[in-house]
Chain A
């Protein structure tokens, strides 16, 4: 069975979510691997959301917002533009390939672009393969026996 990645997509309410809607109403086909989460603005996407998505098993995270200059809140997408590279550096430090996080600008009229982005990103994550993060959640039984299966957690 081929690997079906789990991708979390943060879509801004004003442009990208509407763009995704357009792709849907226009019956454009794209892989079903992205779980869309509607946020009011790409500037609302705190780096913590992205880390949380990865911790909870996402293989990739996509953030979509209005094109630069088009933000409903004037400069929210610029904040996002600056947060993403910094978040990528943090991910890289933990051994997570930065390509697993992607920022794209998709306007409300760009259903076709949304389709293209999802198709391409899904293929890219598929090529990267599943991500296995160390589970730090504490399991008392595993801790007791840690030396036996050293490194198994």
Chain B
């Protein structure tokens, strides 16, 4: 019997998700033994045309990481959706927009202008803004163009499952891979569509080993501004920790290392907007009823927008004002 086909693709991403897949160590050999890896630009040499030639629904599983922010990202997302039986949004960018989603604070024009004209590292006479089409003597050259807005994979194509995390933790990936192999080998039913795999329904705080008391915060601090108690909840110590508004699944790795949660596993179940949830949670624990003092305490939160929406801006309810 022919092996089931596996495709792994990176759209607008850093490549960390691909590394995380390799980080499952010796289990990668099980993947190679069980699957026929038919497309994995990060690790193997295949061309888009090879995928175009495949029959529809001939790829059993596609792990798609990265956000959708260019015409190329979108074209391949559509192509892989068409060719795959199961399409997984793999990692924070594919599921919620991730770090590239932060570009949605601005429109394409101002991003291009900053990157190619205003940025201090641009040569004084540089000012060359890439164009999607260029005429050369051999003919017309085309490159993909950026979108005005970054989107998550599930905002543009139909996605079957979501594996959150930036990147998804290797033990979780290994468990998902083992489960997929088990399902395919033993003909077990697939989980319901839309299931979040490799993570829990609860929030990151549920996995956190630190001691929690009633939180009353008079002052927010950035991590470098204080020496924290290693056994006490970071939020109680005035450090903005995204734990309450983040899905559990990572095993609370950051907080165990003394670093506040950054929210990479995305919004927990039954939550629509991670940043709003965080704003709600953090406002509840501020210990003041005086508007002036509240303003002062809140001003201690450095960049609330970027902190609360670090991984989920594209998929959030926020919209920027039209320019």
Which chain A residues have a beta carbon within 8 Å of chain B's beta carbons? 46-48, 50-52, 54-55, 68, 78-79, 81-83, 85-87, 89-90, 93-96, 131-136, 138, 140, 143, 146-147, 150-151, 153
Contacts and interface: CB of A to CB of B under 8 A. Distances in A.
Contact of B322 (A50, A82, A133, A147): A133
A85 B273 contact: no
20 contacts: A48-B280, A51-B276, A51-B316, A81-B289, A81-B294, A86-B282, A86-B283, A86-B301, A87-B279, A89-B304, A90-B305, A90-B308, A94-B320, A94-B321, A134-B320, A135-B319, A136-B155, A143-B156, A146-B147, A153-B149
B35 interface: no
B208 interface: no
Contacts of A133: 319-322
Interface in B279-314: 279-280, 282-284, 286, 288-289, 291, 294-295, 298, 301, 304-306, 308, 314
Contact of A55 (B107, B294, B317): B317
A79 B321 CA distance: 28
A151 B148 contact: yes
B298 A134 contact: no
Contacts of B279: 47, 83, 86-87, 90
Report which residue of A47, A79, A86 has the largest number of chain B beta carbons within 10 angstroms of its beta carbon. A86
A47 B279 CA distance: 7
A83 B105 contact: no
A92 B317 CA distance: 14
By DSSP majority rule, is chain A's interface helix, strand, loop, or mixed? helix
B256 interface: no
B317 A138 contact: no
B132 interface: yes
Given A48-B277, A51-B276, A95 B321 contact: yes
A93 B109 contact: no
Interface residues of B, number: 46
A150 B109 contact: yes
Contacts of A81: 289, 291, 294
Nearest to B148: A153
Contacts of B200: none
Given A48-B273, A82-B286, A150 B108 contact: yes
B40 interface: no
Contact of A138 (B104, B156, B286, B306): B156
A47 B317 CA distance: 10
B107 A151 contact: yes
B19 interface: no
B277 A147 contact: no
A140 B78 CA distance: 10
B151 interface: yes
B322 A134 contact: yes
Contacts of A147: 71, 132, 145
